[in-house]
Amino acid sequence: MNKLWTLLLAAALPAIAVAAPARAQDLPGDSVYHVQAATTDMDGRPVPWSSLRGQPRVVSMFYTNCHLMCPLIIENAKAVQKRLTPRERARLQVTMVSLDPARDTPEAMRETAHLHRVPDGWRFLTPVADDVRAIASVLDVRYRMREDGSINHTSVLVLLDAEGRVRARSEVEGAAPDASFLTQVKALLAEP
Amino acid sequence: MKRLHQTLLSCALAGGIAALFAGPALAADAAPPVDTIQAVLTAPPLVPPPITRKTPAKVIVNLEVVEKDMPISDGVTYNFWTFGGSVPGSFIRVRQGDTVEFHLKNHHSSHMPHNIDLHAVTGTGGGAEATFTLPGHETQFTFKAMNPGLYVYHCAMPPVGMHIANGMYGLILVEPPEGLPKVDKEFYVMQGDFYTEGKYGEPGLQPFSLEKAIDEHPTYVVFNGAEGSMTGDKALQAKAGETIRMFVGNGGPNLVSSFHVIGEIFDKVYTEGGSKYQENVQTTLVPAGGSAIVEFKADVPGNFVLVDHSIFRTFHKGSLGILKVGGEENHAIYTSQQSSKEYPEDAPDGK
Amino acid sequence: MKRMLPLLLTCALVPANAGTAGYVDLPGGEFRSAVRYEEEGDRLRVVPFALMERPVSNAEFAAFLRQHPQWRRDRLPAVFSSPGYLGHWESAEAPGPGVDADAPVVRVNWYAADAYCRAQEARLPSFLEWEYAAAADARRTDARDDARWRTRQLDDGTPRAMDAAPDAPANAYGVRGLHGAVWEWSDDAASLPGAGDRRGADDGDRLKYCGATALAFNDREHYGVQKRFALLTALQPGDTLGNLGFRCARSSP
């Protein structure tokens, strides 16, 4: 029996070793999940960026000490969600990624989520310091750290399909959702 | 009475029939389909042929930026940045009402991005914002040529002064719907001031001098990108009796031109490239970043010298060109020298 | 398990790419940038950092590709690539004899440059860090008042650049090639707020760029910096150019 197990294991190992790269090769060339980045969620758990693959997602980047645009980003995303049917809502993930790893600890992220009464299921992720720029680049979020600790950044909601391809973008200009963005979200969620 | 009725009836019928025809005729006046045309571009001193069509069209313009070393004076070269390989850049000719689809390419060998601001464009930056083009890339935007006139175009990439100083300018003509009156010859002449580290005439490749450009002390002031661009065997040619039109531009970057053709009077000057003309003008001002259209008849043969009448720059910096007019002399208009003799000495006149 | 162990050991032994390029320490301090950033005053603080002595070479980049083959031009995913990427190399893995192995690698995009630096436990320098290091000539740490020296920077990015030759002297900090024939990526190239046409822009597009207003230059005579700035703001992270390379920086502990 032991011999059988060893044989099976030996046979399985190479398969496992190859399986992981094979999945990565399946990822479409234009997926944002090709970026190798490590993040932590607001419960302190490690969440590799590429592990977000698998569900349609609205992503944005912000930071907790931002009092101008960031509340608007959150309100805008909430408003998008509100206009979805329960079935659509169940299919869509919303993820907020921090531009400020130094200060956006899991605790700070939890506080912000609570303060803005974000719905259950939203993910708040803080990347490792060196990984912020790469994520921002594929999402086309431009930002600059200023001396006083504030961050100049563009405010967008990015719609990703389950494979991580950018399907739509909405420049956040207020709390009301952009109608054409909403149409794109619904269209994506209607796909099989 | 019957006859009247009949007449009335025929009138009514005629009216009715006329009305029937009027319908389709009106429909025929609705917007006809628009042709797509590739713009013909020329290098100075040549000008694309006059536009003959009577309707607006979609015109496609393809212009490529090329950075290249070229002579600026005898033995002196300069690293010019060009639109279409020449300084000034290619001449563009469209008609008022045309929709221009503009493609700007920046050659792979360029070391910098470039863009274009056409003064004929109504829209942000004159197109500069839409045509930010990296080396090896091509950008596109579309504009409507709403106003007739002769307009300058130039690069507006920061630092703007340097891009213009290196030769990135040219002219775009928007013809009025009825076109321009026919003339025998049309020429493209554009003045520019250049700033080099070395003094005037210092041989070799001369780098751009920012200090001189800021102080507005040019080393070379030339027509069509080089001293001697229109002299010797490159002189402009015409025949006595021909009517001539010159599209004159001034790319600057700094100097205003006092444009004059020695031995000629401009019959018409469309000042600043606009729609109204002044008549019988000797010297006309061409603003930096502006233009003028001058027209005259070459009545007699001879060498007629194009100059900037701020005269020291003509003789010391190169703003000189020649129009060679051949043909039969006309002694009723001009005789050249008729006699030369001594006269007895006396107290000078006026003593 | 026995078969696994050698595999695990090999993985552990492959070092993070230490690279052969040396780093030079720069002291940082107060610095007057030629670029005027929003509401901040003239003087900015540059935190001490280390900068690679030379730009990354073709040979060094080829070594990086051996460790990280996913960055080869024939394997790069579309999200990171552009048509010209490493186009001048003979093969996907090596520059070949026609390319100078020690010359700065070009036709690399921001993603590849960023990945190379992160593999070294480094990062790309910010534009401000580049500007600070490049303010020095061979003798002075800030030579920018020398108009003649400033003028020579107009040739940056061309074969006539003052640091184009491989044996061009190091600057006062010990860094080489900052004013060379090759432009260099900065970490924040995509985020330098610069519209293409800056002539009329004095209103900020406030909503588009949170808190930002139009950039201007403190030093209007610093054309060398303006040209470099104009180039970097035109670039997208996936773009490559025949005269654009990079070097890495490290934050000082």
The residue that leads in pLDDT, B195 or B19, is B195
Q: How confident is the model at residue A25 (pLDDT cuts 50, 70, 90)?
A: low
Q: How confident is the model at residue B302 (pLDDT cuts 50, 70, 90)?
A: very high
Q: Among the ranges A71-75, B14-18, B44-48, which has the highest mean pLDDT value?
A: B44-48
- As a whole number of angstroms, the distance between CA B279 and CA B293 comes to 12
Which chains does chain A touch, 3 or more C-beta pairs < 8 A? C
pLDDT of C172 higher than 60: yes
Which of B85-94, B135-144, C221-230 has the weakest average pLDDT? C221-230
pLDDT of C206 higher than 70: no
Which candidate from A29, A32, A150 shows the least CB-CB separation from C211?
Answer: A150
Chain C touched by A132 (CB under 8 Å):
no
Interface touch C229/B158, C-beta < 8 Å: yes
- Average the pLDDT over B315-329 and give the result: 94
Q: How confident is the model at residue C39 (pLDDT cuts 50, 70, 90)?
A: low
Interface touch A66/C210, C-beta < 8 Å: yes
Could you tell me the residue ranges of all domains in chain C?
23-57+109-251
Q: What is the pLDDT of residue B63?
A: 97
Q: Measured between CA atoms, how close is A106 to chain C, in angstroms? A: 24
User: In this structure, how many other beta carbons lie within 10 angstroms of the beta carbon of residue B83?
Assistant: 25
Counting one residue from A and one from C, how many pairs have CB atoms under 8 Å apart? 76
Nearest to C98 by CA among C63, C58, C61, C67: C58
The residue that leads in pLDDT, C244 or B19, is C244
For C:10-29, CB contacts with B below 8 A are none
Q: What is the pLDDT of residue B60?
A: 97
Which candidate from B128, B134, B214 shows the least CB-CB separation from C239?
Answer: B134
Prior bond of B88 cis (ω within 30°): yes
pLDDT of B241 higher than 70: yes
Which chain C residue shows the shortest CA-CA distance from B132? Answer: C196
- Residue to substitute from C82, C197, C217, C240, interface B, most B β-carbons within 10 A: C197
Q: List pLDDT tens digits, range A132-166.
A: 999 999 999 988 888 778 888 889 999 999 999 99
Q: How confident is the model at residue C68 (pLDDT cuts 50, 70, 90)?
A: very high
pLDDT of C201 higher than 60: no
Q: What is the pLDDT of residue B19?
A: 45
Interface touch B157/C230, C-beta < 8 Å: yes
Interface touch A30/C79, C-beta < 8 Å: yes
Nearest to C126 by CA among C190, C172, C213, C64: C190
pLDDT of C14 higher than 70: no
Give contacts of A65 with chain C, Cβ < 8 Å: none
Q: Are strands C244-245 and B58-73 parallel, antiparallel or unpaired?
A: unpaired
Give contacts of B157 with chain C, Cβ < 8 Å: 196, 230
Q: What is the pLDDT of residue B9?
A: 45
Q: What is the pLDDT of residue C191?
A: 80
Q: Measured between CA atoms, how close is A55 to chain C, in angstroms? A: 19
Could you tell me the residue ranges of all domains in chain A?
29-182
pLDDT of B167 higher than 80: yes
Q: List pLDDT tens digits, range B88-108.
A: 999 999 999 999 999 999 999
Q: What is the pLDDT of residue C21?
A: 54
Nearest to B50 by CA among B176, B199, B143: B176
Q: List pLDDT tens digits, range C133-148.
A: 999 999 999 999 998 8
Q: Which fold has domain A29-182?
A: Glutaredoxin (3.40.30)
Q: Establish how many alpha carbons lie within 13 A of residue C160's alpha carbon, considering only the half-sphere containing its beta carbon.
A: 12
Nearest to B174 by CA among B249, B94, B117, B118: B94
Give contacts of C193 with chain A, Cβ < 8 Å: 142, 144, 152
Counting one residue from B and one from C, how many pairs have CB atoms under 8 Å apart? 73
Quick one: three-class SS letters along chain C?
CCCHHHHHHHHHHCCCCCCCCCEEEECCEEEECCEECCCCCCEEEECCEEEECCCCEHHHHHHHHHHCHHHCCCCCCHHHCCCCCCCCCCCCCCCCCCCCCCCECCCCCHHHHHHHHHHCCCECCCHHHHHHHHCCCCCCCCCCCCHHHHHHHHHCCCCCCCCCCCCCCCCCCCCCCCCCCCEECCCCHHHCCCCCCCCCCCCCCCCCECCCCCCEECCCCCHHHHHHHHHHHHCCCCCCCCCEECCCEEECC
Which chains does chain B touch, 3 or more C-beta pairs < 8 A? C
Q: Measured between CA atoms, how close is C50 to chain B, in angstroms? A: 28
Q: Among the ranges A26-30, B296-300, C11-15, which has the highest mean pLDDT value?
A: B296-300
Write down the pTM of the prediction.
0.77
Q: How confident is the model at residue C222 (pLDDT cuts 50, 70, 90)?
A: confident
Mean per-residue pLDDT of chain A: 86
Q: What is the pLDDT of residue A191?
A: 87
